[in-house]
Amino acid sequence: MNQTARTTWLALLQAVFPAFEGRVFAFGDSCVAAVHYADFYEGMQDFDFAVLREDYEALIARLIPLCEREGLTLDADATVNGIVVPKPYVRVGKAACPDVWLRIFPLDAIPVQVTLRFKLFKESAALMERYRTMEEGDNFAGLPALASEMVELGRYNGLQEGLVARLCGFSKSGRMGEKTIFQRTIEVTDLFPVRELPFAGVRIPVAQKVSNWTLEMTPERERAIKIIQQESLVALQEVDRVCKKLGITYFLVGGSMLGALRHGGFIPWDDDTDVGMLRHDYDRFVREAPAHLAPGYFVQLPETDPHIHFVYARLRKEGYDYITAYNEDKDFNKGIWVDVFPFDASPKVRVLQKVQRRVANVMARASMALMRRREYVQHDVALDAPLPAEDARYLRRFAAMARLFPVSLTRWGYHRAARACNWIYGGKPDAMYASFIPSYTTISANEVDPVRRIAYEGTPLDIPAGAEAFLVRQYGDYEKLPCVHERYAEHGFKYLQDADGARIGR
């Protein structure tokens, strides 16, 4: 970011700040910058704020005379064929810096039903992509039609209160994913009163709680992570004990392996643990370990718990419940867990390797996503909340399709694809193994065997012999710490709940 952009943004902020009146708050990159850096940060691209739709028109009315007085450019409307049409968001800039804008987005109410949120986000993404095309080509001929469709996105403003969503100004890709539910929405009660945080020598308005947009490491969250890591370490010790007793080879993978080598234990901001096993050891573990686990532990599988959505095993520990935005209303054990991922033999031929990877990964993700969608829609249909007729019909159709589609078929497809080459290559000294979930990662037989012991928070645990090579393939320069605002775990965490019902970390 060049100095001109920094200076211009700050000047724009100071000029328009009187119009905010405590109803506007930092959004997107601006929120991240204020919470984590108190300044502009490397890679920051936009300087954005947001306001509830109910306050949006009043804000523009205050900005008009202010911008005229300060000599600023206010970009809120377009004139198409003599008709003034409002744009999806308002921009304030300086004529001398035509590429630097302070943007303010309106936030609209969204439905309580998760299924309909996806529908609304999809509609919004398509409309915003059309708007970007117009803006980049400086051709707003289609804006009147688009503006009328944008109005339809606010159909829940009069129906639902309490939830608002970012329905404009998505990421550059224009794609919205499942995490949108957790990271792009917020309850109104979490917004106000806004607080002012120091930012580049001034102060910037920020919502009371920003955990749905960026992770703010509050004392409550720090306490929750400490408890999770303490409980997880005990669970890892139990995995190690049982595996040694049964002669099963396991090894830390993913963030747990990364933490072992880079931090000597947990990544400070991480809140889950991962272990891997070659398929024959994995099968033995899920079959034999339950009889040897200490009281308070159990292996959770799709075969034993029909309400879970994942296709691999988890070792659960009784005591604390790890509550997320997804599982809060779900009927399965939510104890702190250790993920147990199977590694299967991969073909030598690159083309076949890609086919196996693609099929197994697609089937696994489809199985998990379809299971979640089925639960979402069943819950959504049962909700007694007002709906526009069009969305009510959509919800009924979606519910019917969700019930008809056999999730078990995709789960079966994943296991067939993942296991397909074990009988050919499994056990050979030059074999390559792959884990297809949560991300595709390969490891060679000589990198696994023999495993080696390493101190993990002072506890000896196993990692692959070639752990460093494995981490390079998965993370690149794994020794380099991520940016401050990227130091968070993406599990939709809301709070811990102990056996007495007390909540920690919300």
pLDDT at 173 over 70: no
Task: Return mean pLDDT, the chain.
Answer: 88
Nearest partner of 239 among 440, 460, 455, judged by Cα: 460
Question: Rounded to a whole number, what is the distance in angstroms from the first to the last CA of the chain?
Answer: 35
367-394 average pLDDT score: 86
Domain map (residue ranges) of the chain: 3-206, 219-344+438-504, 348-420
Q: pLDDT confidence of 468, banded at 50, 70, 90?
A: very high
* Omega prior to 406 cis, within 30 of 0: no
- Assign 244 to helix, strand or coil: helix
Cα distance between residue 461 and residue 452, in whole Å: 8
pLDDT tens, residue by residue, 297-332: 999 998 888 888 889 999 999 999 998 877 887 888
Q: What is the pLDDT of residue 183?
A: 40
The Cα angle at residue 413 between residues 409 and 419, in degrees rounded to 5 = 145
What type of residue is 270? D
pLDDT at 169 over 70: no
Dihedral sign for Cα atoms in the order 318, 319, 322, 323: positive
* Strand pairing category for 297-300 and 313-324: antiparallel
Helix/strand/coil (H, E, C) string of 357-379?
A: HHHHHHHHHHHHHHHHHHHHHHH
- Exposure string (b/e) for 142-173, b if CB count within 10 Å is 16 or more? ebeebbeebeebbbbbeebeebbbbbbbbeee
Q: Which fold has domain 219-344+438-504?
A: Beta Polymerase; domain 2 (3.30.460)
pLDDT tens, residue by residue, 24-74: 999 889 999 999 999 999 888 889 999 998 899 999 999 999 999 999 999
262-290 average pLDDT score: 95
Dihedral sign for Cα atoms in the order 80, 82, 83, 85: positive
93-107 average pLDDT score: 92
At residue 154, φ and ψ (nearest 5 deg) are: -90, 20
Contact yes or no for 364/450 (Cβ under 8 A): no
Cα distance between residue 481 and residue 492, in whole Å: 22
